[in-house]
Structure formats: structure tokens, C-alpha cells
Amino acid sequence: MEYIVRCNDLKCRAQLQDRAVVTTCSHVFCIACSDRTGLAQASNANRQCPACGTVLGAPDDVVVAGLNPSEDYKTSVLSGLSPSIILECASRGLGFYSYQASQEIVYQEHLAKSLTEKYAGLNQQMDQLIHDANAQIKMLQDKLHSKGADVASLEQKLLDLNDAFREKSRALQHVQKLYQSLKAQVMASHVATAAGDEADFTLQTARGDRFVDRIPGTRSGTANFSQMGVGIQGGGRQHRRDDSGSSGNGGGASGQRGGVALGSGWNQQHESAPVGTPSQSHRSRLPVLGGTRPSNNSLLGVNAGPAYQPSPVTTRQPLGVGRNMGAFGFKRPGGANNTANGPLRR
């Protein structure tokens, strides 16, 4: 393979094809580099070789040579010279070629060495980078493994918390059911108690107010029967009526029958006092309509007095009676039953 000559300027290193500037110090440069450094100027006595710094003061120290001579040039360039001169010229030419080849080898070796060192440095850097990357990968793998263990632990805790939450939810539902059941029982007991109280109040009101309007001075269930007393002859205000002929007693106006009368303790403040729900201790019996009572009446405690006369202002007629009631009849001690001409005239 033919060797290609290059410009000996390290910054250029261009291949020489047609023409080149050759120096006696066995260096060759391209035309551009010789013009730039001033080698092509023959009048310059201070010329120096750009490659080795040799002073080239002689006119023939720097010549421009054609690298592709013609056949005529080859024939005439050495013609007329002695063989010794021809051999000397040839040996010097071969020496130039040998020097350029050796310099190229040195240059390539230097380049290879520098590239090898650079490669070694890069390789070392790459090894360090790979080592760091492997260490980072191992650390990340360890961290990933630990995070995986943490995730598994958290998942187990989550499952445990879900189970505990389900248990708590079931317990809460059970407690709520028990609460609702107990609440329903308590409300039912309260409703039953309220219904019983309402029923007792209704019954007591119906029993207490059935004939309460028959008594003078009452105002729609507001009378207080605790002040009622027993009428005795000659004491307090008494209602009397004349005995009829069918009564069977010949006493006339002077004959008197037993009856219930308002005592002297009856006053205005008791007429408007609210009754409410009367207790057992404040209840008083009303006379039996059209019936008889024994002489030893537990309510009266004494012999019956004069017969009870209905008030003329009383207009309420319970039990379908077409007219006002007369006196409540009682059986006097040792006497006959006074029911023949009673209030209902039966």
C-alpha cells in the first residue's frame, strides 16, 4: 500500500496530493500552511521550520515540489548527473520518506497512547459509574424489599382493622337494637300508664259528675263534697216538702222524712274550687235514687233527718227522667219504706 504524505503541521494534518513545500530538515507542509507561516517567501532570511524550529536561511532550504511529476520531468530531472549524485539524491529522498513514515508512526503511537489513556480513564469512570449504579440498584432493591414488607404489614393491619370495624359495627347494631327495644318497652309502659291514668280519671270524673249538677251551687264538676254534712231537725237550712196522701204517713206537714242537706260549712269558696281527680279519702257517697238506705248509714252516722228537697234551679235530668227529681228517700228507723211516692213517683 502506498504511503500518503500528510502536512507536518499538527493542527492541519491534511493529505498532500499535488504540491507541497519541502524543507531540508525533512518536513513537508501544504501550500496553505507555508503561506501562513511564511515559508514560501524566498526573501525571508529568518525562516524557521514550523515543525522543528530549524532556521532555513538558504534559498534552497525550502522548495516547492510537485508530488505527481510528469514523465518528461522524470526523464530530465536526473539526466546529466553522475551516478554517485543520482544515488545520493535517491538516498536522501529515501531518507525523507523513511523519516516521514517514522514520524507518522510516532504520531499514531502517541495518538493511540493518548486515546488508550483516555479510554482507560473513561473505562475507570464507567466502572465507577457502574459500581455506583449497582450500589444504588442494590440499595433501591433493599429499600423496595423493606417497603414490600411494610406494605404487607400495613395490609395485614388493614385487614385486622377491617375485621375489628365489622365487629364494632355488629356490636353497635346490636346495642342500637337493644336500645330501640328498651325504648319501645319504656314508651309502651308509659303509654299504658298514661292510658290507665286517663281511664281512671275518666271513670272517676264520670262517677263524680253524674249527679253533681243536681246539687245546688255546683259548677260543672267543681263542687267540694268534703264540706257536706247531715241535716238535723232545727239545725241549718233544710229542704222540706209536704207528704202526699199516698205516702202512707199521716203526719201531714209535721211529718218529716230523712234526707241529705247541705251543712252550715258550705261557703262560696268551695263552690268554685276545682275538683280534679278526687282521691279515695275525699270521696263522698251520693244518695241512692229511688232506693232505701239502712238507718245506720255509714256516711251519715245518725238518724236521717228531713227529706231532701230539690232546688228549683236544677235543670239537669240524668237517666232519661222527664221531670225534676224529688227528694232522695230513705227508710226511717222503725218506719215504712218511703218509695211509694218517691222522686220518680213509682
Q: How far apart are CA 305 and CA 307, in angstroms?
A: 7
Give the pLDDT score at 216: 54
Give the pLDDT score at 193: 83
pTM (2 decimals)? Answer: 0.41
The number of C-alpha atoms within 13 Å of 141 and in the hemisphere containing its C-beta is 6
> Among 135-149, 200-214, 224-238, 243-257, which range has the highest average pLDDT?
135-149
| Amino acid identity at 104 | E
Residue with cell 511564511: 38
Instruction: Please write the tens of the pLDDT for every residue from 41-88.
Output: 756 667 788 888 888 877 778 888 888 888 888 888 888 888 899 999
pLDDT averaged over every residue in the chain: 70
| Amino acid identity at 294 | P
Residues 6+ apart with CB under 8 A from 80: none
Strand partners, 23: 62
Where helices occur in the chain by DSSP H, the ranges are: 31-37, 71-77, 83-209
Q: How far apart are CA 69 and CA 235, in angstroms?
A: 184
Give the pLDDT score at 176: 94
Residue with cell 433493599: 142
Instruction: Please write the tens of the pLDDT for every residue from 251-303.
Output: 443 444 444 444 444 444 444 444 444 444 444 444 444 444 444 444 444 44
Q: How far apart are CA 104 and CA 248, in angstroms?
A: 179
